[in-house]
Structure 1
């Protein structure tokens, strides 16, 4: 029987609207959200929409090819503040909800981001990047020509590096500017800088009485050598800073209770380094006594789902109930994320979990209901109303035209046993136009992290490979989130060990249980840690006929000094850094096994990847080419580690086309 719909293409993600950041109106009558799309000029645009719950009527509030985001309603609902780059860099704009043009309220040289209202609506708190001698009262936005000239002049000067953390994949090379917290008086139209330390300050919340602002950061002199992140308050009047946490962990997502007596937050004390599960804490503001509500749980708090079409951020919790007797948050568990509730005695309740991806939510204290964002493997995103009686009703119909056109493959969940008896979860997609009795080529996908999770969300790359005629298998080997602390910690100091055999067991299971897979046409691909594992696989088995390694690690010896995280990540994940044991790091390095590679390998790497720098791909390519192996190297100009998720759209399409080309050639 012929398919009535067409197969998905590499270009199709350009047709998607991606929703994020739902925010209830103060009276609970509707909510705002952000919709991100791809523009005709090879970039992304984000627009703010509002939907009335009584009529389900959608109203678009912003237009154009700009990035408009972070809408936040004033407590009386009469205004909304948001950030927009329409003037050149992100600035804050104020819009009356009954109509009219938006008014620009900041003209900071380096922009202003992440606005929030005080509880009385008189002030707006935001973050701005400032030099130590900047005056917030005289900030002037540069023109396009001035910014261009400054960049050109900067590019003529050498970069003088004195800090260990001098670069990041997200921002490139750092300068001396630090993110500071600013208070804007709405009526007086004046600015007050609340923080001044030579450190980054991450705004968290403002106390209900407006006297203190809660932020996260590390204000220690040795901050660049530490991996801790504490919570602090700064008094709005005196500017006095008070440290709330103990300096032994990493804490974030903090919010005051409605009375201001307590603070809820996520965090951990790095008992398992970067593989430590988040805990949910309550801090008594007066006594400073801290209580852990999640001590008996064994799953990750927050959203750790991996996808390639999620753009924009959303609230994942913890969020206080109206009576401050409960907290709400998103949790990551067994390939899905859901909305959870906990009371102050630590009693956990699932409010919504339906084997899909809850990517964000907003809570209305008037009706005690939620708007939740949900993605499934065959539907990129929609919003739903979850009322106080747990009734679920759909609010939006995103991407209708796209979904009417294309055939998407529904994944089949599998569970197989690893060599040591551990249960491993995965998903299998059948190819477009599947016919019984035919044999199909196969591709194993391996996620990055490694402490992340594949699961029940929309994944364009998986669907594309299925559309191209491949059986696609993706799994969560040990090291993945979603299966408890022991599981997520189990790959540390064992890269290429049981995590590798978990993946090989997945292939064995698929071949044993699905007769339509052609065992002579197996492919493998993955990015970041998945790229490392692809490199490791081709150096340890010849069962795959083609491999594509993306933004990978090939040599842990050099990774230590070139990655923006190498100096601590190497120790965290392998148990050694370069100065501890070079022999051990070399044994963990796929480059060591280059002579054993017989699988044709395509290496994809971004030129400006500072997480897994391009020299990692270069070393592997040169070694394999020198050995006269079948290898090809594709370098993506201007691309960071995030190429596959938020890179320039045309580069993302090129990447997907190269993957498909390689597998078509060899499978």
Structure 2
């Protein structure tokens, strides 16, 4: 079988944003366009009578849609290509062409959905200032956000259209973070911000017929991860953060006629946090079917579906991921990726009969399926890591190896297809990875490394590496590389300052200095205070102790740095500090800086930049690890 190549990225399909009605489901199919250097996005329809999903739109720039009724959807597009315009189109699922319903003179408009009284709900972003475009005014925190650019005093607003009239229903400085609509009511997480954003916005309901806002959850009360209305109220997954901080797993609350109150402890993650570079379209976490709550949760290295019905009950455990899901005619459908595979649409028949409904990603290249390996963590407890074997593996040969460290840190690596790793196995590398303390997939205590970065997590990782080398003798210990992004970049920076075990490193979108990160990242003050347990005012020495930059003078490993100049999550300055520290000490180092990219470069960056990033890392590893 042919090897997996870097340019195979252009052949893969990404699925997501699935929504359902009584008899159909709609989802977004996206592909990288090499010619346009962007993502082509079209809408697909599926019904039980179809052999394969049916393409609905062909403009290749349409992904924002909502059901108007069970047989009609509306979507936002600009098919006329008019400047500073977009339009609402509607199309019947029974056939026919899309019809333009409403021209909108605001190009940054998103369709939220339709209310029962024919009111259409939109979300509109503030326009850029027409004057003073050569400067910015910053007077709130955060003043920029990763993936959104400068956001100072720029907001999204809820706008209604009914009876030919437009009406804005949120205030100028109100920030909106989540919207759901049901029947005749709009539900919103929002807060009015003048100088500082919080992590605990309030939950509110708005009824257009009454022109009235109702407070459901007071601000600064709960960290709400997701919510969903149903006939008897609203289910809310949230935490107080009192015991485990910002990363605390949520519990289930309910809002009913008695107000908002605790319903039942869950204590595990919500949604899919399994890492991959093959899922660029959003999914969903919750759904209601027959007035029963369904939700996904990451367990160990995979995703499971649960329902709440007088307690929590497991519905199905996928061996990979469940990215988006919903019900059609009492059948459960979901978009997910099986072990060693990419996303497809599936239907669950009975309790465990999983039937494929699409074949977008039939791979014809080499895929190395992860092999599990047992190791003991820093506490001596059994944990599971994973090893990908190189293409055409020969037990009598010696191979280089790459340790890949996930971001988060509260995410996990699983067994689904990961493009960069498959490229490396096809180029003759072992690739290995694990989920050390700090990762998701277990309970709050396992994920809690607040104030411990670079200690127990680092120890876990090196114990895993030593186990891999002890058990797989074909990996040459003198030809090891290490890479990772975000938290994985932090840990790569930490590793090169604490061991010479690795002969090449690629640090991506990293943290190097908690002191500089504190007031430059879009999440800096709150995240640093939460994860390190202190502030720059209270304990500068502790922040410096956990900063890889302090130990850069000990580094001997040739290191490549990958960074983006619009990464406001782990700002460019974090990579530059490590780069300069190594170069000043005559250690071979190089930075590849991507313009107009952000923290999501490896997952949803422009295709040409994703290709170049992977070429840079691969060439760096080849240079130092290949004989």
Please classify the TM superposition score into its range, dividing by the shorter chain length: over 0.9
Alignment of 1:284-299 (within 5 A): 284=256, 286-293=257-264, 295=265, 297-299=266-268
Shift of 1:90: 6.4
Alignment gaps of 5+ in structure 1: 132-146
Moved more, 101-110 or 526-535: 101-110
Q: Please give the alpha-carbon distance, in whole angstroms, between the structure 2 residues aligned to 1:565 and 1:507.
A: 31
> Secondary structure of 1:625's match?
helix
The match for 2:465 is 507
Aligned-partner Cα distance in 2 for 1:566–1:360: 30
- Cα RMSD for the two superposed structures: 2.0
Query: Which one of the candidate residues 334, 338, 345 is aligned to 2:304?
Result: 338
Q: 1:201 aligns with which of 157, 176, 182?
A: 176
Contact 1:603 1:631 survives alignment (8 Å): yes
1:191 aligns with 2:166: yes
**In the alignment, which of 76, 89, 105 is matched to residue 83 of structure 1?**
76
Q: Is the 8 A contact 2:299 2:441 kept in 1?
A: yes
1:25 aligns with 2:21: yes
Offset, 1:392: 2.5
Taking the aligned partners of 2:114 and 2:437, their CA distance within structure 1 comes to 42
Residues 1:226 and 2:201 aligned together: no
- Aligned pair partner of 1:237 in 209, 216, 224: 209
* SS of structure 2 residue aligned to 1:13: helix
Instruction: Specify whether residues 635 and 238 from structure 1 end up closer, same or farther in structure 2 by C-alpha distance, changes over 3 A only.
Output: same
Shift of 1:289: 4.2
Out of 240, 263, 266, the residue aligned to residue 234 of structure 2 is: 263
- 1:481 and 1:264 mapped to 2: Cα distance? 23
SS at match of 1:213: strand
Counterparts of 1:355-504 in structure 2 under 5 Å? 355-364=319-328, 367-387=329-349, 390-400=352-362, 403-404=363-364, 406-489=365-448, 491-504=449-462
- 8 Å Cα contact 1:315-1:362 kept in structure 2: no
Deviations, residues 484-535 of structure 1 (Å, cap 9, x unaligned):
110111x210011000000001101101111111111111001111111001
The reply on whether 1:315 has 2:251 as its aligned counterpart is no
Matched, 1:34 2:28: yes
- Quick check: 2:43–2:55 contact (8 Å CA) kept in 1? yes
Using a 3 Å threshold, how does the CA distance of structure 1 residues 289 and 55 change in structure 2: closer, same or farther? closer
Partners of 1:162 and 1:277 in 2: how far apart? 32
8 Å Cα contact 2:269-2:441 kept in structure 1? yes
Determine the structure 2 residue equivalent to 1:143: none
Alpha-carbon spacing, 1:459–1:93, altered in 2? closer, same or farther (3 Å): same
C-alpha separation in 1, matches of 2:152 and 2:10: 34
Deviation at 1:175, TM superposition (A): 4.2
Structure 2 counterparts to residues 505-544 of structure 1, below 5 A: 505-544=463-502
TM-score, with length taken from structure 1: 0.89
Q: Are 1:100 and 2:68 an aligned pair?
A: no
1:58 counterpart = 2:53: yes
| Distance in 2 separating the partners of 1:61 and 1:429 | 38
Q: 1:166 to 1:108 in 2, by over 3 A?
A: farther
1:166 lines up with 2:143 in the alignment: yes
Q: Kindly report structure 1 stretches of 4+ aligned residues shifted beyond 6 Å.
A: none
Distance in 1 separating the partners of 2:470 and 2:351: 45
- State the alpha-carbon separation in 1 of the partners of residues 578 and 545 from structure 2: 15
- Between the aligned partners of 1:620 and 1:289, the Cα distance in structure 2 is 47
Superposed displacement of residue 207, structure 1:
4.0
Instruction: Note the C-alpha offset of 1:274.
Output: 2.1
Residues in 2 aligned to 1:497 and 1:556: alpha-carbon distance in whole angstroms? 15
Separation in structure 1 between the aligned mates of residue 575 and residue 193 of structure 2, nearest angstrom:
36
Distance 1:205 1:612 in 2: 30
Deviation by residue 1:603-640 (Cα, 9 ceiling, x = unmatched): 11112111111111111111111111121122112221
Partner in structure 2 of residue 71 of structure 1: 65
Q: Once the 2 structures are TM-superposed, how far is the Cα of residue 303 of structure 1 from its aligned partner?
A: 1.4
Task: Give the 3 Å change call, closer, same or farther, for CA 559–175 of structure 1 in structure 2.
Answer: closer
Structure 2: distance between partners of 1:189 and 1:390: 49
Partners of 1:92 and 1:57 in 2: how far apart?
27
How many equivalent residue pairs?
A: 618
The 1:618–1:649 alpha-carbon spacing in structure 2 relative to 1, beyond 3 Å, is same
Relative to 1, partners in 2 of residues 1:658 and 1:130: Cα closer, same or farther, differing over 3 Å? Answer: closer
